[in-house]
Amino acid sequence: MTWVPGMELREEWLAQVREEVLDPEREIVDPHHHLWQRGGTGYELEQLRADTQAGHKVVQTVYIECRSYYDPAADARFAPVGETARVADMARETEGDPAQISGIIAFADLRDPDLDAVIDAHLEAGQGLVKGIRQSGACDPEPGALAIPGRGAPGLYADPDFRRGLARLGERGLTYDTWHYHHQAEDFLDLVKAVPGTTIILDHFSTPLGVGRFTGQREAIFARWRKDMEALAACPNVVAKLGGLAMPDNGWGWLAAEQPPGSDDFVAAQGGWYHHMIGCFGADRCMFESNFPVDRTAISYPVLWNGFKKIAAAYDEEARDALFAGTARRAYTLPSTLPPKRRFNLRMPPIQRS
């Protein structure tokens, strides 16, 4: 993840929109956030605590690798273990907090012929918190049009060595996270079908782009994306994270707006994408994510979770429990204080399939 000039934390800008926190007693697991010091801007424990303690009842979080805190003295294969070690130490600092860092998703190159050695190093450094690996596949032929261009290798999902590594994660009881762009959906579907024994977590809706050559094509992309997600949902080893749709490259233009969106604006713009994913995958395979601080460039933490709660109001209580905490706890094997949920009755109209 490269931090781009102009994508600062923007406290004064975000402060223009304040809302009363909805349903403040609902437990939330935020399964996707980062920590870093970049470009003179820091988002570390102080900033994370300010967001997670801003009114919503966030009780657990999961840290997702983002090339922070690498060990410059280590061999390149093991440099990412420095990130795991640093974040594990930070997690121990949150043990008395209302919101605790309860899981870490680390980075490793799954093509590494000695992958197990790297995984072992992460597990040792993670102090029991490492739940999986993320090696993102995001790759676009026109990276200059993107604020946050992905670093995925071309053809990564089809690479036999990569697929062997991905299967190894499942054998070791670890999850695999990834993000990529909407035009990579077919390649991803082929990968998912080839490795059915690994739990694969799709981040950020498959990142439907709205900039560069995709500017002005949202309706056409949405129509294609709907079919792609329906096909992907037929694969039982896939779990979907719902969030990260407010990044600059999604093309909503909020980064450059005079003021950020309120929760009603957020739901009006993006609610259809959320409801389609929940309708396809079911609430027991979906989890809301903040993707902070990246989505913080567009919307504040309290407003974002208010938006999620307004979207979730269309579903019953068991589904809401899954979307806000249960699915994340199950997918990442986090400690749970909630009873298991097995049935999710949706009150949404049926998805029209063609």
pLDDT of residue 7: 59
The yes-or-no verdict on residue 252 having pLDDT over 70 is yes
Instruction: Classify residue 345 by burial, with Cβ atoms within 10 Å: 0-12, 13-18, 19+.
Output: exposed
Query: pLDDT-based confidence at 50, cuts 50/70/90?
Result: very high
What pLDDT digit, counting tens, does each position of 59-104 carry? 999 999 999 999 999 999 999 999 999 999 999 999 999 999 999 9
The yes-or-no verdict on residue 37 having pLDDT over 80 is yes
Query: pLDDT-based confidence at 353, cuts 50/70/90?
Result: very low
Query: pLDDT-based confidence at 339, cuts 50/70/90?
Result: very low
CA atoms of 299 and 266, how far apart (whole Å)? 9
Distance between start and end Cα atoms, the chain: 37
| More reliable by pLDDT, 283 or 8 | 283
Token output for 295: 């989505």
What pLDDT digit, counting tens, does each position of 290-317 carry? 999 999 999 999 999 999 999 999 999 9
Mean pLDDT score of the chain, rounded to an integer? 92
Cα dist from 290 to 52, 62, 145, 268, 305, whole Å:
10, 10, 24, 18, 8
The yes-or-no verdict on residue 3 having pLDDT over 90 is no
Q: Specify the 3-state DSSP secondary structure of 65.
A: coil
The yes-or-no verdict on residue 226 having pLDDT over 60 is yes
Domains in the chain with CATH codes: 25-137+147-331 (3.20.20.140)
- For the chain, give the number of residues: 354
pLDDT of residue 9: 78
pLDDT of residue 342: 36
Handedness of CA 345, 346, 347, 352 (dihedral sign): negative
HSE (side-chain half, CA atoms, 13 Å) at 165? 25
pTM of the full predicted structure? 0.93
SS3 content of the chain, % helix, strand, coil (to 5): 40, 15, 45
Taking residues 24-48, what's their average pLDDT? 92
Taking residues 197-217, what's their average pLDDT? 97
Cα dist from 354 to 189, 228, 276, 277, 351, whole Å:
18, 12, 14, 16, 10
Residue indicated by tokens 């903040």: 290
The yes-or-no verdict on residue 348 having pLDDT over 60 is no
The yes-or-no verdict on residue 341 having pLDDT over 70 is no
Name 207's Cβ contacts closer than 8 Å, sequence gap at least 6. 138, 179, 180, 181, 182, 244, 247, 249, 250
What pLDDT digit, counting tens, does each position of 99-116 carry? 999 999 999 999 999 999
Peptide bond into 293 cis (omega under 30): yes
| Residues paired with residue 215 on neighbouring β-strands, in sequence order | none
Query: pLDDT-based confidence at 282, cuts 50/70/90?
Result: very high
The yes-or-no verdict on residue 352 having pLDDT over 80 is no
Q: Where on the phi/psi map is residue 251: left (φ > 0), alpha (ψ -120 to 50), or beta?
A: left
pLDDT of residue 38: 76
Percent of the chain with pLDDT over 70: 93
What pLDDT digit, counting tens, does each position of 12-21 carry? 999 999 999 9
Q: Are 278 and 285 in contact (CB under 8 A)?
A: no
| More reliable by pLDDT, 279 or 350 | 279
pLDDT of residue 5: 46
| More reliable by pLDDT, 221 or 348 | 221
